[in-house]
Amino acid sequence: MKRQILVASFLALIATEGLSNAQGGKGIQVISSEKEKKVDVFYDGKLFTSYIYPADLEKPVLYPLYSAKGTVVTRGFPRDPRAGERVDHPHHVGMWFNYGNVNGLDFWNNSYAIPAGKKPGYGSIRHQAILEVTSGRDVGVLKVKTHWMDFKGKVLIVEESTFRFTGDETLRRIDRTTTLTAQAEKVVFKDDKEGMLGMRVDRAFEEPASKPEVFTDANGNVTSVPSLNNDGVNGTYRNSAGLEKGAVWGTRGDWVKLSATKGGEPITIAMLDHKQNVGYPAHWHARGYGLFAVNNLGAKVYNAGEAEACHTLEPGKSLTFKHRILVKSGAVLSDDEMNKEFQTFNQ
């Protein structure tokens, strides 16, 4: 415990000294503030994203995310609501990593909106420690430790995730490596559509909708998604097989990109799977209303013709996932560029 306190104090001191140099600095600055429960990531002095872990969230997230030109690409609700955006699915905050059925617990849908009487059916992911904060001219690194726990605080999984930040004047890139280790009891990930690496995008990246929709999660919770004004809404999904828009949902693929123009700026958000991941090529939980996610553990829930998936971790055993996230400013990433990124990521 004393060692953890000393490490935390040291990281806080580094953060305090680094903040004065973040604005206007060159390279990639990764700056921790334990007091504010966040880690900011700057590219050449411009904020790209923050890893935040406040007590009122049921999991740590990257929030918000910006393009290289400073355009926000994630939804504001529920933390910072913006005019004209949807206010559904309050558990969709920034970018996150979790799953909908872990030993019968729902980690995906947990939020402040779940009634107290239903909370025991949900799991939470709690930040434990920052293991590494490294800034550099070309690469920034953040490594964190979290606990996946039940309603009573029993730890089912210890997670260690490393975020590697790279890019250039128009591109922001995140390579996320997440290792999940089962603790005292066996952990079972059952076939579920609610997973795994997901983000909720800004209204501009949604697909224009002409009618309201209603979604029901595995616990019977109903969320209504109304049809809103479509001004400026122009998002288009495209996957590695050439499928577009709604046809992407539930399919398998190496990558999916989501392109739109916001404020006159063409922007592409993309996610890439990795060949070493279980379930590769993953299914894509990509919804037109702004949920963009890749799911390596769901199968039959997306395609009735597939065998039901069930992945088990015995105590002490681990499972590692690798994903790449891109935010390209000023141009739409072509299929050739996406394929090159995929090949480079898988080297």
Condensed to tens digits (0 to 9), the pLDDT of residues 20-76 reads: 345 457 899 999 999 999 999 999 999 999 999 999 999 999 999 999 999 999 999
pLDDT band (50, 70, 90) for residue 220: low
pLDDT for residue 18 is more than 60:
no
Q: Span 135-140, mean pLDDT?
A: 98
Residue at 37 is within a domain: no
pLDDT for residue 4 is more than 50:
no
Residue at 34 is within a domain: no
Residue at 45 is within a domain: no
C-alpha dihedral (173, 94, 275, 131), degrees to nearest 10: 80
Give the three-class secondary structure for 344.
helix
Which runs of E-coded beta strand occur in 273-317?
283-286, 291-295, 310-313
Beta strands across the sheet bearing 283-286: 28-33, 38-43, 46-52, 61-65, 95-99, 195-200, 291-295, 283-286
Q: Span 114-143, mean pLDDT?
A: 98
pLDDT-above-90 percentage for the chain: 84
Q: How far apart are CA 250 and CA 247, in angstroms?
A: 8
Residue at 107 is within a domain: yes
Beta-strand relationship, 95-99 and 255-262: unpaired
Q: Look-up: residue for tokens 């905050």?
A: 93
210 burial level (CB within 10 Å; 0-12, 13-18, 19+): exposed
207-211, 262-266, 319-323, range with the lowest pLDDT: 207-211
Position 294 scores a pLDDT of 98
112 burial level (CB within 10 Å; 0-12, 13-18, 19+): exposed
- Over residues 144-197, the pLDDT tens digits come to 999 999 999 999 999 999 999 999 999 999 999 999 999 999 999 999 999 999
- pTM for the full predicted model: 0.90
**201: domain range?**
84-129+137-345
How much of the chain is in helix, strand and coil states, percent to nearest 5? 15, 45, 45
pLDDT-above-70 percentage for the chain: 90
pLDDT for residue 12 is more than 70:
no
135 burial level (CB within 10 Å; 0-12, 13-18, 19+): buried
pLDDT band (50, 70, 90) for residue 218: low
Residue at 190 is within a domain: yes
Residue at 8 is within a domain: no
Cross-strand bridge partners of residue 216: 222
- Tally the domains of the chain: 1
Interacting residues of 298 by C-beta distance below 8 A, sequence separation 6+? 191, 192, 193, 194, 195, 279, 283, 285, 309
Residue at 244 is within a domain: yes
Position 1 scores a pLDDT of 45
Position 6 scores a pLDDT of 44
Amino acid occupying residue 187: V
Residue at 155 is within a domain: yes
